[in-house]
Amino acid sequence: MNPDRWNQIEQLYHAAREQNPDEWDGFLKQACGADEELRRELESLLGYETETAMLLDRPALLVAARALALDQRSRMIGRTLGHYRVESWLGAGGMGEVYRATDTRLDRTVAVKVLSEHLSTHPDALARFEIEAKAAAALSHPNILAIHDFGDEHETAYAVTELLHGETLRARLTRSPLELQEAVGIAIAVAEGLAAAHAKGITHRDLKPENIFLTEDARIKILDFGIAQMGPLLSDEAAGVESATSASAEAGMLIGTVSYMSPEQAEGKKVDPRSDVFSFGSLLYEMLVGHRAFQGKTKLETLDAIRHQEPEALDKVSAAGLRPIVTRCLAKAPSSRFPSAHELLLELKKPRAERVPLARRKPVWAGAMALAIVLLALALLPQKWRAWLPNSGRRVTSLAVLPLNNLSNDPEQEYFADGMTEALIADLAEITSLRVISQTSVMQLKGTKKSLAEIAHQLNVDGVIEGSVLRSGDQVRITAELVDIATDRHLWARTYDRKVGDVLTLQGEVAREIAGEIRARITPQESGRLSRDRSVSRAALDAYLKGRFYWGQFKEESLTRSIESYQEAIKIDPAYAAAYAGLSESWTGLGWIGARPWEEVRGMAKDAALKAVSIDGTLSDGHAAVAVVALRDWDWKTAEVEDRKAIDLNPGYPTAHMSYGNILRYLGRAEESIAQAKRAVELDPLSALTNEVLADAYLCARRPDLAVAQCQGALELYPDDSRFHLILGWAYFYQGRYDSAVEAITRSLAVDGVDPALSPDLAYINAVTGKKEAAHKTLDLLLALAKQAPVDSGMIALIYTGLDQRQEALDYLEQAYRKHSSMMAWLKVDMRFDNLREEPRFQDLLRRVGLI
């Protein structure tokens, strides 16, 4: 039995169960027509004895199914499906059971719908269940129930959704009639969600009060896309199943709940979004009038009313000024209705005066009064209902884009999901009015169990974007959702389908949409950069994203692999500016970590950086790469100019702020350096590197107390980071806490596996605290080692400085200059060289390095 046939049987079974048993025979004749096999299946499910046609009081199949369900519930409690721990049963619906569960990875409460056990081994039911999840997952909108995940574990198929608290619209209508304002607010919210579905080519086909949920925090959610008709934007598999579904619809299949069916549904014809518009009209009518638009004594009478009769009591609809909308929605001919929910929504949002047909317009004063009444109604609308109206655009000034979830379940595609995360962050960071947390920080939260509120507090942001990436061949689907942490409201959500080569251009589009939603100001220059075409070939993009992935690991082997990946991208697309910028960063990285001598990598790093900016002068990464090379070359002017260009092009780029902070620090512009370092930390708060730069800035500004506080805070995140222990040690030293200094520096050496006897830092402290013999011992060991292996001459000079042997110190500083030691950049601000500052040779070194 194919999934479509199963869908047909299930829907007709539930429709029949809504009727009295004595009505079943007539209903089955109408629904099944000449399809005897279909009728036999339904009679079996409904408990018919085919030989005697006698109705059983309790069908054995239903008894067995209920027993299985109860047994399944007891065994499900406490189980873990994927990373979801099942905690309690919530209810049953459609094809399965629904449970409350905890997402142990993100530490959030979710709902898990599990396929009924007696169906789990049925291939058609399993396929149908998966298609139901895919239909909903294809949509991402604040007014549609969010599907987080889908899985199949130990023959248990499950779908994970957000957990809602509240009641269905049916329950709300049962309690009491709706006020006009409440009905309008709900209608607009439903139309918005439905419009999003129609835009993705998906028709709901079962819109009814039972499938509209009103949450406790005044949100509206459309539920149950289980019988949705999916358009061509979904996967080939889903489209294949849908083709079968459509074919069966044409063959006379009744799908949907009878009272809210469109005439074409009632006749078993093929449906499109206009069928949902009819169902919406029935829904709106019921909210306004208080009873169903079409309701006979039997389901057959109801079907006949839908096809041939007009609803009564339209005068109550007229009083609300909504009669033109309801009438058009409930037109018998699909061509007379709104084409989709989008056009319906536009009409629904118009002031009442604009909705009245021209031939029946009242005098101007009457129209003005009607508009005033509508505006007054909106002004008096309770906050609870006002929340259901379109989002008013709350101002969000800081954002974190959490790592996009790789829905392919293929670890080999992780680099692609991470690359999409980085690209979206980079584009949003170009907007000056936004503070966007860097990828370095958010990637540390990958797989975290923290709640969104905890993450936002840690990163100090008021908005969070989460989403997913699903790649299939040359196609990619990106889903993103913006959450306002202060109100826990989903402000914006979209799903995008593109070719892989177009995703970088897409990220600019996403950034612009998000900025518009939160009312972030975008300058014309920023808008132009975000709108630029960045299409690349699929192969080149793949290679580039792998390069970014390897670069992020920042180790010798991974940096080497990143270089290979960038070179592959450039070979495919010689005009790929971003790949050249990445290549420069990786060459510089090898020199930075000491894996290669700077003299060896310098030329390749510089050539790649200059090539990047020559191809694309608007690429901030390229200018930042030029600045880093210039800094290492002691070309301070070029470095400063290029970093400022990078920051102008991308104000949210922490690497540029960090690099600029380093330049200012070396030049002795302490307060400016601290300001840039602080900005880098704001943008990348969980990065060890940004926090180290700020601690160094405090130290060189001769503010050891702030350096101590910065290091102590960072060590809570990075207890084994040797650099923080080293900076902390020197901060203690400048405070006169020599024992604490030695202890911290010794800890740093232990982390790196360095023999304390070979430490120039400890030797310097020994020298200035009167332990000259110990200092000389280390000096002798290093001088002996220098005859066999490279030893930084600047470190030898440091020990001589501590011993106050100034000429020897200057001799080794001269050697350090010739070898382009990184120590030379520190000469102007390092307090350890204070006793050399009046020496002419030292002043000459400062001039040659460009520091004075």
CA dist 162 and 490 (Å) reads 12
Q: Token pair of 113, please?
A: 């719908």
Q: Residue 767, SS3?
A: helix
Diameter over CA atoms, the chain: 116
Look at residues 631, 627, 634 and name the one whose alpha carbon lies nearest to residue 612.
Answer: 627
Q: Residue 769, SS3?
A: coil
Report whether 136 contacts 478 (CB < 8 A).
Answer: no
641 CA to centre of own chain: 34
Amino acid at 360: R
Residue 301, H or E segment = helix 299-308
Q: Which of 4, 103, 149, 206 is catalytic?
A: 206
Look at residues 392, 390, 682 and name the one whose alpha carbon lies nearest to residue 519.
Answer: 392
Amino acid at 777: K
CA dist 435 and 398 (Å) reads 5
Look at residues 510, 385, 389, 349 and name the one whose alpha carbon lies nearest to residue 143.
Answer: 389
The DSSP result for 511-552, as a single string, is HHHHHHHTT----HHHHHHHHS-----HHHHHHHHHHHHHHT
Phi first, then psi, for residue 721 (nearest 5°) are -85, 110
Look at residues 149, 119, 160 and name the one whose alpha carbon lies nearest to residue 10.
Answer: 119
Report whether 146 contacts 481 (CB < 8 A).
Answer: yes
Query: Helices (DSSP H) in 652-769: which residue ranges?
Result: 654-666, 670-683, 688-700, 704-717, 722-734, 738-752, 760-768
Q: Token pair of 434, please?
A: 């936004």
Q: In DSSP terms, which residues pair with 481 in a beta bridge? A: 466, 493
Report whether 517 contacts 393 (CB < 8 A).
Answer: yes
What percent helix, strand, coil does the chain show, rounded to 5? 60, 10, 30
User: In terms of C-beta distances under 8 Å and separation of at least 24 residues, what long-range contacts does 656-663 make, across chains too?
Assistant: 656/620, 656/623, 656/624, 656/627, 657/683, 658/689, 658/690, 658/693, 659/624, 659/627, 659/628, 659/631, 660/627, 661/693, 661/694, 661/697, 662/631, 662/693, 663/627, 663/631, 663/636, 663/639
Report whether 793 contacts 813 (CB < 8 A).
Answer: yes
Please list, in sequence order, all residues whose beta carbon lies within 8 angstroms of the beta carbon of residue 373, skipping any fewer than 6 positions away: 352
Q: Residue 162, SS3?
A: strand
* 156-162/212-215 β-pairing: unpaired
Q: Token pair of 809, please?
A: 């110190």
Please list, in sequence order, all residues whose beta carbon lies within 8 angstroms of the beta carbon of residue 177, skipping any fewer than 6 positions away: 290
* 475-484/463-472 β-pairing: antiparallel
Amino acid at 10: E
Report whether 275 contacts 205 (CB < 8 A).
Answer: yes
Look at residues 849, 392, 398, 356 and name the one whose alpha carbon lies nearest to residue 632.
Answer: 849
* 398-401/463-472 β-pairing: parallel
Has 22 been annotated as catalytic? no
CA dist 260 and 535 (Å) reads 46
- Active site residues per annotation: 206
